Amino acid sequence: MKTRSILTLTLGLWVGMASADEVPSPTVVETPSVPARLLSEAKREAEAAAAPQQTLRVSPGVNEIIPVAQGHLNRIITPFDSPKVRTVSVATTQIEGNVVYVAPADENPVTLYVTPGDNEELALSLTLAPRRIPPREIRLTLDAEQYRKLGSLQSGQERPSAASGRLSQDYVAELKQTFRALALMRTPRGYSLRAPLAGEVLRCTQPGLVTTIGQTLEGRDLLVMVGTAKNSGLVPLELDERSCAFESQETVAVAAWPKVWLEPGEMSELYIAVRRTPDAETTARPSLLKASRP
């Protein structure tokens, strides 16, 4: 009974404060409808930004907007063997093999042009949109026609030169394996052992060092000359392998085994790899027609 009186009093006060004519009519606000296409696009962008990995097909001349992590290292795997990046944006970029690492410094978009080396015929245009998300890995792919074009471009590029120091990691690893096999008194795979020719000599400009050639190994594009290096002086000598490299021979690598610090009269084996000339990479083949003539 007490509760009912309180409710009646409260309603009476409300009615006494405003008459029916003074009560404002409710305002009707119309909410515009959002097209389903925009909702689906926003959903795809949100899912792409949240995914740590993404495969994206790109086309030259078409700019792609890619959400990336701000203040973190993002990994972009390109279809190029040796990509090159051009940008004027404030971001840290680093290239390792076919991968481009990008770390945006702030929220400003980062625009990149990625090309296969110095070739400008095929360039990918990317706009990276930094966001507060975890680091991302984006793999870029091309369609079949662009892959064929890329293959012809990359096959025509110059092979890395040892003299210019632009050696790939695989190439250096292969040289190390070759020299390791020689140190273990084995013939490296892909090489044939023969006696040195008259023009094949070991030369070192270091004073007190006497070199003698004893073997030559022929590979597909390299010759490895094996000999000895002897300290002919009266004091200990540290063998400087750089003194045995000559640009005229296009020396690829030099190594001494088992040590480079030689006492007077002491010797080490010396391995010098030089690049073969294009004519020397092939051998003569006798004609079968001449052999069949009477």
Is the model's pLDDT at 40 over the cut of 50? yes
- Looking at residues 118-135, what average pLDDT do you find? 88
pTM for this predicted structure: 0.43
Q: What is the pLDDT of residue 30?
A: 56
Is a pLDDT exceeding 60 seen at residue 192? yes
What six digits make up the tokens of 237? Answer: 């000598």
Spatial separation of the C-alpha atoms in residues 153 and 145, rounded to whole Å: 13
Count of other CB atoms within 10 angstroms of residue 69: 20
What is the distance between the alpha carbons of residues 75 and 100, in angstroms, rounded to a whole number?
6
Q: Domain-by-domain residue ranges, the chain?
A: 39-155, 169-279
| Inter-residue contact 257 to 229 (CB < 8 Å) | no
- Average pLDDT of the chain to the nearest whole number: 78
Q: Could you write out the DSSP letters of every residue in 58-115?
A: --TT--EEEEEETTS-EEEE-S-SSEEEE--SSEEEEEETTEEEEEESSSS-EEEEEE
What does the pLDDT read at residue 171? Answer: 77
Task: Name the more confident of 44 and 287.
Answer: 287
pLDDT score, position 281:
47
Distances (CA, A) of 107 to 18, 50, 67, 90, 110: 53, 17, 11, 10, 9
The confidence score (pLDDT) of residue 1 equals 46
Cα–Cα distance measured from residue 160 to residue 98, given in angstroms and rounded to the nearest whole number = 15
Q: Which residue has the higher pLDDT, 291 or 274?
A: 274
By percentage, how much of the chain surpasses pLDDT 70?
70
Q: What is the pLDDT of residue 128?
A: 93
pLDDT band at 14 (very low <50, low <70, confident <90, very high): very low
The tens digit of pLDDT for each residue in 49-91 reads: 556 678 888 888 889 999 999 988 999 999 888 889 998 888 8
For residues 250-275, give the mean pLDDT. 92
Return d(Cα 20, Cα 13) in angstroms, integer. 14
Q: How far apart are CA 89 and CA 280, in angstroms?
A: 48
For residues 205-219, one letter each, b for 16 or more C-beta atoms within 10 angstroms of the residue's C-beta and e for the rest, the string is ebebbebebebbbbb
More confident residue, 185 or 151: 185
Q: Which two tokens stand for residue 86?
A: 């051009």
Which CATH architecture fits 39-155? Sandwich (2.60)
